[in-house]
Structure 1
Amino acid sequence: MATGTVSIMTWRSRWEALKRRSQELEGPGRGLLAAKTAVACGLAWYLAPWVPFAENEYSYYAPLGALVSMYPTLMRSVRTGLQTLAGVGIGIALGAAGLALVHAGGPAVVALGGVVGVGVLAGATRFLGAGGDWVAMAGMFVLLLGGADADQFSISYIVTLAFGVVVGLAVNLAIVPPLHLGYASRRLSQLRDAAAGSLRDLADLLERGTGPREEIDTIVSGLRRTASAVAADVLDADESARGNPRSRGHREERAVNDRRRRALEHTVFSIRDLSDALFRSGGEDDGEPTVDRTAHEPLVTAIRACADLVAAPLESEDADDLVSAAEDAVAGYLSTVRDAGAPSPEAATVGFCLQRILESARPITR
């Protein structure tokens, strides 16, 4: 009866974490990861009765260990598995301390509160990471369910869980270890297109002469959200290559992805600053261009030329022509501003932003 209770409580305690992790499965290899997780859990459950130093009645901890160790990248799987075992180990020690207090005549409710309270505090430490959730739970299990057989329960608990983690890591490594560099490259191309599209939208607003403030803000905020999501995907992909035997021969691809990510991050920051410099608040709802109207046409030309350069595919055959066109267009805008007299701070900032976009785009196309 106690075994069934522990099993139900354990699975329920992990449900919210599993729902959060399901968002990660929306990336590359979702189906493969799900299949590997199923295989790992089934294999851990089948082999659990042969785990030394552990009682068979606690075999359900083996598939649980396999489950918590299955992540989209090998390094994250290793890190999470070790953090989980560390959290359980600390929790077992707390539970043992609580039992000692009870055996010494202390109130059981005080021991329980102390174990849970200290477990929650200990679980908040950064080095435990995902294992922090297990500290209080493991301590409570040892205190409430260990009873006179607490030593055997604790050993079975951590040994069987560790066996499941090992099985999960072995399956993750043996069956097509995930390598997401190609996915990261595609995501970077999506960000490149989004950045170019944002520049063209700003040029359209400038041609119109005004636009709803909400529309101006939406252009930049949408681009920033995309940039944040893509940066996370690229870093995850780079992590998937660490310790991965499939990553041999992909060093250049990793370097190119990192170079593109940094260049596009700079481009996105410059587009944000460009938007702020281009439009001032013209009232409650509208944004008015800050640049003198005589410079609108060369400015629109410069923004569109920069957009064409940003949109160019990696190692585009037209890269040199696009760079030259953008340089000429930006120089033409700056010349127009200078010829009109002392440039305003906004006009100077716009020119600086365009030059930064141009410079950031060079590593993307060459």
Structure 2
Amino acid sequence: MIQPTSSVASWWRQLTDRARLLLAGKAALAAAIAWVSAPYVPFADEQYSYYAPLGVLVTMYPTVAASAKSGVQAILGLALGIALGVSGVTLVLWGVPAVIAMALIIGVGVALGGVRALGAGREWVAVAALFVMLLSGRDVDGYSLSYLITMAWGVLVGVVVNLVIVPPLYLKRADAQLSVLRDALRGALVEVADEIEQRSVDAAVLVASAEPLSGLLREVDSEVRSAQESSRANPRARRHRGEQRSNDRRLRSLERMAFHAQNLIDVLARLAESGVVFTDADTRRYCAASVRSCADLIASFDGTEAAEEQRQTAEQMLTEYLDALGREEGGHITYRSDRWTAGLSLRRIIDASMPFSGAEQT
């Protein structure tokens, strides 16, 4: 059950988010500029100036690229809708009952809204058609042209304001989220190492340690994609190319690490459910040490000399674990293969760190 206090706190954080407040300020400014300037737009009737702020709203997205894209899509959707609306008016002039003509254009408009290529313009097809039928009166051509041009002017103003006034760049936010993922992954492996060191390994504890990772991976992936999008058509991004490349590399490496960490946890949980994790105390100890060294490697995941030293330590701990496995005798073949599979997962975690260690630095 969601606690009211936590919901209020979450809402407050979202409402006071600096990026959102900046977007709100820019939207307000752009709407005001569009409304005041709309009467001077050629071929547009002054009485329809209120459509200009609406054009701003349909295009005011957090990133410049998204603003431009959504604006173009909205204009395409409007153009289709206006054409539909004119067709509806024509049907009425031909003697078709108005209610039937309206139903037809709404049905076609909603159907056209299923065209994914229209993007943000999908929702405007039926709306624009309905506006033309209901609000154009006797001046269908004048209303339609003013509607389209005034909305397009609002879109243009919105894109320009978003571009000129502190165009958003979310690279630092993505970097912070990547650090959150790194710390969560390290924490999960530390929990696994702690559990392995116990005489009785609880499979539920192992599984629980990996549960937050999947959701966090999706959130971080979305944040990095937003940062990439914010860099497109953004003049501020030119000075931050290195940060963008670093974020991309970190995400790819952490995704691979998380994947193999989850495989490691799955294998160890399966062994724990069987009641036989390790038959030898030394093997158990070396496995825990190897997992812990991988956790420390993730913690030093920054490409420094310390990271390379930690990678070498993780390599050594893994070698000792594999050597201990080679000395094991007897035991069920399935359980022995699972313990080797755990070693392979640890190997892959170490490999995924190489782009940020001296092993692949250029």
TM-score, normalization: structure 1?
Answer: 0.87
- Which 5+ residue runs of structure 1 have no aligned equivalent? 1-21
For the structure 1 residues 289 and 174, does the alpha-carbon distance in structure 2 shift closer, same or farther, using more than 3 Å as the test? farther
Between the aligned partners of 1:178 and 1:38, the Cα distance in structure 2 is 16
Q: Are 1:310 and 2:301 matched, yes or no?
A: no
| Structure 1 residue 328: Cα displacement | 0.9
Equivalent residue for 1:328, pick from 303, 316, 321: 316
**Paired position in structure 1 for 2:81:** 91
The answer to whether the 8 Å contact 1:207/1:296 transfers is: yes
Per-residue deviation, residues 75-96 of structure 1 (Å, max 9, x unmatched): 1111111111111111111111
Q: Are 1:211 and 2:202 matched, yes or no?
A: yes
User: Amino acid of the residue matched to residue 151 of structure 2?
Assistant: L
Equivalent residue for 2:288, pick from 300, 317, 320: 300
| Structure 1 residue 332: Cα displacement | 1.3
Between the aligned partners of 1:237 and 1:265, the Cα distance in structure 2 is 17
The answer to whether the 8 Å contact 1:278/1:290 transfers is: no
Per-residue deviation, residues 249-308 of structure 1 (Å, max 9, x unmatched): 3222211111111111111111111111110287xxxx5666324222111111110000
C-alpha RMSD of the superposition: 2.2
User: Amino acid of the residue matched to residue 37 of structure 1?
Assistant: A
- Which 5+ residue runs of structure 2 have no aligned equivalent? 1-11
**Paired position in structure 1 for 2:8:** none
**Paired position in structure 2 for 1:337:** 325
Between the aligned partners of 2:315 and 2:265, the Cα distance in structure 1 is 20
For the structure 1 residues 118 and 82, does the alpha-carbon distance in structure 2 shift closer, same or farther, using more than 3 Å as the test? same
The answer to whether the 8 Å contact 1:24/1:72 transfers is: no
Q: Percent identity?
A: 42
Per-residue deviation, residues 116-145 of structure 1 (Å, max 9, x unmatched): 111111111111111101111111111222
The answer to whether the 8 Å contact 2:203/2:268 transfers is: no
Between the aligned partners of 1:41 and 1:205, the Cα distance in structure 2 is 58
Q: Are 1:357 and 2:356 matched, yes or no?
A: no
Between the aligned partners of 2:44 and 2:172, the Cα distance in structure 1 is 43
Equivalent residue for 1:271, pick from 261, 274, 293: 261
**Secondary structure, counterpart of 2:270 in structure 1:** strand
| Structure 1 residue 27: Cα displacement | 6.5
| Structure 1 residue 69: Cα displacement | 1.2
| Structure 1 residue 25: Cα displacement | 7.9
Between the aligned partners of 1:262 and 1:23, the Cα distance in structure 2 is 29
| Structure 1 residue 345: Cα displacement | 2.7
Equivalent residue for 2:120, pick from 117, 127, 130: 130
For the structure 1 residues 346 and 27, does the alpha-carbon distance in structure 2 shift closer, same or farther, using more than 3 Å as the test? farther
User: Amino acid of the residue matched to residue 228 of structure 1?
Assistant: R
| Structure 1 residue 318: Cα displacement | 0.9
Between the aligned partners of 2:279 and 2:46, the Cα distance in structure 1 is 81
Q: Are 1:169 and 2:159 matched, yes or no?
A: yes
**Paired position in structure 1 for 2:338:** 346
| Structure 1 residue 365: Cα displacement | 4.4
The answer to whether the 8 Å contact 1:58/1:157 transfers is: yes
| Structure 1 residue 148: Cα displacement | 1.6
